[in-house]
Structure 1
């Protein structure tokens, strides 16, 4: 029979209430998490100590607490003696204790240490070979880009106004400003400078590489008329070049303008040509290699790592054919010499 309580029922003379939802069950999971964190910190603290005996005791205790079959501790602690002390303990961490300054081979036999050393050397050689291959491929791609730029410059009779080099940054396209690109003490592009950039821009538009434009002044201590110093003048010339390239299709996010004043001369300031050669703008196609691979770029580029005139695609093809012919002739001569020696 129902009572007026609605949510209550009588059974056997006792009142029963509706079961309430326990909103504090999360505390159980939270407590479990804190316990696990505490165990983790204890383990980390123990690993910071060089005392292997204490570490083994901790491992044995944790193994017992979490179950003897725990994979984290199996095979690391052997039998305990009657006093509960670990015997014949195998160190759990075979690596280097961060605070001990050890080499990671402590406790190894001579043969084991030699095996580790050979493995490390083999891995280093493999990585070095991989880096060299990447640098060689990048140098080849940068040379092809140079050929494309040179083709356009040659088409417009401007190839003599530009020099090239490959360094660890990538392909450097050097535009000697003189009075062709910028007037003295000014950062406004002249008609000649626009023609050069018009020839360079199409080859750069579709590249994935970022582009850095460096403005450089020569070493003369002449007073700058429109700028406080060579720093502002070189930065203004770099910025003007960047804006022009952006207006001709290059993405703004790929561009960087840098002003070097006279701190990065192209040639020795004592050289008579330095007055004109060091007054320049460098358009740098930045490499996508990592620093270790990029450091190998100059060696991979060979003679192209030095300042040189641009080589067109046709010139590159002719040079490659000549080199291949010379190599074939050299091989034939060597084979003939070997055959003659055998007959003798």
Structure 2
């Protein structure tokens, strides 16, 4: 047997490596004079074909690091198609300012204005009924991105401390507002809240207390005032969504409340504009 056949493969590998290094060395050496002669030759060739000085207007025929696009002034009328690209780099560094509310789509603004007027009419109707029942100051109205909120602040007018039992005044307020609420098409969310005082006795936490308060309001509206059950819901938020921060007397009273939220059925983009258009 020929035990030296491996020398053939080895010599082939050495030959290939040598050729590789020769090529790498050759391409790393640039003859500046020959390169310049080639550049001029190519430039002359293109000049003969096109009649222009160079294949690339604004340069000597090669990319020398300078811009090949002339910096023309749009006012002189010579920029041509290049004008369409002027200032593109400035857009990234100096983006256009965000649209102000004045630039909002007119149709969107009109829809938001109409929705704000609709909620104002609902508020006026409920306020009129409350005034007739001599309860005009019992409800605090506000408008947010969800719709119209009727705040039943439980400063011993609607609920006693740590209690979900409706007071006589609370029942009168609900009875006065119910006719207007029944005539609406919107969904109504009854949202119970509690203050941060620890709870004891019947309820384990403020979650149960706030939920029971919302449920009692819902039951009165449905069972006593004829509110359609399919259009109303109840939820408790415990003490997690206070209107007033801290532990002052005003905070304790204001945060112990139930909110009746008339949920606007307008698109979200419209609802977002409504609070700014509503005069409290």
2:115 equivalent among 138, 141, 149? 138
* Residues in 2 aligned to 1:211 and 1:131: alpha-carbon distance in whole angstroms: 24
* Residues in 2 aligned to 1:237 and 1:213: alpha-carbon distance in whole angstroms: 9
In the TM superposition, residue 109 of structure 1 has moved relative to its aligned partner by 8.9
* 1:142–1:170 CA contact under 8 A, matched in 2: yes
Against the structure 1 CA distance between its residues 184 and 270, is the aligned structure 2 distance closer, same or farther, given a 3 Å change threshold?
closer
2:173 equivalent among 196, 204, 219? 196
- Partner deviation per Cα, 1:31-58 (whole Å, 9 max, x = no partner): xxxxxxxxxxxxxxxxxxxxxxxxxxxx
RMSD: 2.6
In the TM superposition, residue 178 of structure 1 has moved relative to its aligned partner by 2.0
* 1:178–1:276 CA contact under 8 A, matched in 2: yes
Q: Which runs of 5+ in 1 are unaligned?
A: 1-107, 115-120, 305-344
Q: Which runs of 5+ in 2 are unaligned?
A: 1-80, 88-97
Larger radius of gyration: 2
1:243 match:
219
What is the 5 A alignment of 1:1-344? Answer: 128-221=105-198, 223-247=199-223, 248-302=225-279, 304=280
* 1:224–1:230 CA contact under 8 A, matched in 2: no
2:7 match:
none
1:90 match:
none
* Residues in 1 aligned to 2:109 and 2:245: alpha-carbon distance in whole angstroms: 31
TM superposition score normalised by structure 2: 0.62
* 1:177–1:279 CA contact under 8 A, matched in 2: yes
Aligned length: 188
* 2:140–2:151 CA contact under 8 A, matched in 1: yes
In the TM superposition, residue 138 of structure 1 has moved relative to its aligned partner by 0.7
* Residues in 1 aligned to 2:247 and 2:160: alpha-carbon distance in whole angstroms: 23
* Residues in 1 aligned to 2:115 and 2:206: alpha-carbon distance in whole angstroms: 34
- Partner deviation per Cα, 1:163-213 (whole Å, 9 max, x = no partner): 000100100000111222222222121211101100111111010100001
* Residues in 2 aligned to 1:273 and 1:210: alpha-carbon distance in whole angstroms: 30
* 1:165–1:171 CA contact under 8 A, matched in 2: yes
In the TM superposition, residue 270 of structure 1 has moved relative to its aligned partner by 4.8
